[in-house]
Each structure stands twice: as structure tokens, then as C-alpha cells.
Amino acid sequence: MSKRAVILAGGKGTRLRPYTVVLPKPLMPLGEFSILEIVIRRLVNSGINHITIAVNHQAELIKAFFGDGNKWNVKIDYSLESKPLSTMGPLKLIPDLPENFLVMNGDILTDLDFRSFYDNHVKQGNIFTISSYKRTHTMEYGVLEVNGEKKLTGFSEKPSYNFHVSMGIYMLNKKVLDYIPTDTKFGFDDLMNSFIEKNILPSVCEFTGYWKDIGRPDDYMQAIEDFEQMKDSLL
């Protein structure tokens, strides 16, 4: 069975400057590989046989590096944005998307089982499935609780909070395209808020393995170290 993935690789990588002045973020290196090559290898090993890379910023560099995908035994084609369309907007430019397909950012290092994630979404008949990760955020400040009379009623010294965060990896049914406007900047946040307003509730699949968003400088530096220890299992 044909399995399709769309990799979002059109961002400018502003959080990783000055590294991304020369290289687009998905071509940032981890060891001898770019992060996007690692993503592609993992998708192919999970049964994906057709990948569309949505490009904008420094598109020619990405296209020159990956070509038609023959090197990785996968069909690769490209969708070029003439203007930034955020994360969901680019999907409206791709005319031949199948009934179900995977969408992900091109700057993620993870050992997520893409095959199971894909198959479970299809089996459950979901319209949209989000892969989530639990992260702990520790405040750098003492947090004050203040009442309406501006009096202190509680205090926490550098408290920690747990959040479910989106990993930037999704499974979509083609029906989602009906909710995305054409030729308009439209992000994941816009789509989720629209769904919630319409009482269309996407499924959330919590992942407890390894995940780093290398668009964040701290995560990128950690991923460089981690990859050397993990590359045999990731490639």
C-alpha cells in the first residue's frame, strides 16, 4: 500500500541564527547527516514511499541535496510556496494527497514509531491525530498569587509545570483540507482553534520516547550529543 508523507521545510529557522544564515534549518548537521536526511531515512524505514517536501526559504539548496529521492529508494517531489503559508496552508498547494497522510516538521529528531502512528490513525478513522510529548517547564522566577485587592495570597519559588506539547508530527485525513483556506497563511494553531470551535476534536497520541525540536538552540545542541549515541537505532 502506498504511504505518503509531507515534510514542512519552508521555515527560515530564525531561532537558530546565525547558523541558518547560510544553511536552511532542515540541512543543519547532526554528525555526518542533515536532520532532514535522518527524517527521510526514518520515514522510508517505516514504509513511507512518497514524500513531498514543502519548501520556501532556500528551496534550491534542499532540492539540490535530495533530488528525486532515488538515493534513499523513495519518491521525493516538492511543493514551492510563493509566500509563507505557515504549517497547514502549504497543504492546499499539493493536488494529489491521498485519503490519509503524515505531516511533520523537517527539523525533528525522534525515535517515534512512524509506522504504528500512521496505521493507528487509519484504523481509528481519525480526522486528525497529534503526536504529543509531556514537557516540564520550570519558571525562573518566584510566582506571586495576588487577589483583587493587590494583596499576596500565595507564593511559589520557581514552580514547575507539566504540559502536553505538540511534537510537530501529525496524521491527517484528506477531509482536513476542507477547513484550510487557499493561498492564506494558516498555521496549526489556526486549524486547531477552528476545529475546537466547530466541536471537531482531534485525537492526541502521547509519546514517551525520544524527541528533540532542533529549531530550539538548546535542543539542537543536546541533539548533536545524543545522535552519536543513538544513530544506529535511528538510521
Is residue 15 scored above 70 in pLDDT? no
What backbone phi and psi angles, to 5 degrees, belong to 168? 80, 25
Strand (E) or helix (H) holding 142? strand 142-146
- In the chain, where do the E strands start and end? 4-8, 29-30, 33-34, 50-55, 75-80, 100-105, 108-110, 128-138, 142-146, 152-157, 160-173, 203-207, 211-213
Is residue 49 scored above 60 in pLDDT? yes
- State residue 217's pLDDT score: 80
- State residue 20's pLDDT score: 45
Average pLDDT over residues 171-196: 97
- State residue 16's pLDDT score: 45
Average pLDDT over residues 5-18: 68
Mean pLDDT estimate for the chain: 91
For residue 175, give its domain range: 4-234
As beta bridge partners, residue 203 has 129
- Note the pLDDT tens digit of each residue in 83-104: 889 999 999 999 999 999 999 9
Contacts of 219 (CB under 8 A, 6+ apart): 212, 213
Average pLDDT over residues 178-194: 97
Average pLDDT over residues 30-47: 95
With 0.75 as the threshold, say if the pTM is over it.
yes
- State residue 17's pLDDT score: 47
3-state SS string for 77-106: EEEECCCCCCCCHHHHHCCCCCCEEEEEEC
Is residue 138 scored above 50 in pLDDT? yes
Task: Count up the domains in the chain and report the number.
Answer: 1
- State residue 11's pLDDT score: 65
CATH of the domain at 107: 3.90.550.10
Q: What angle do CA 181, 187, 59 make, to 5 degrees?
A: 95
- State residue 233's pLDDT score: 85
Q: What percent of the chain has pLDDT above 70?
A: 95
- State residue 19's pLDDT score: 47
- State residue 215's pLDDT score: 79
Secondary structure (3-state) at 1: coil
User: DSSP labels for 172-199?
Assistant: EEGGGGGGS-TTS---HHHHHHHHHHTT
- Note the pLDDT tens digit of each residue in 139-170: 999 999 999 999 999 999 999 999 999 999 99
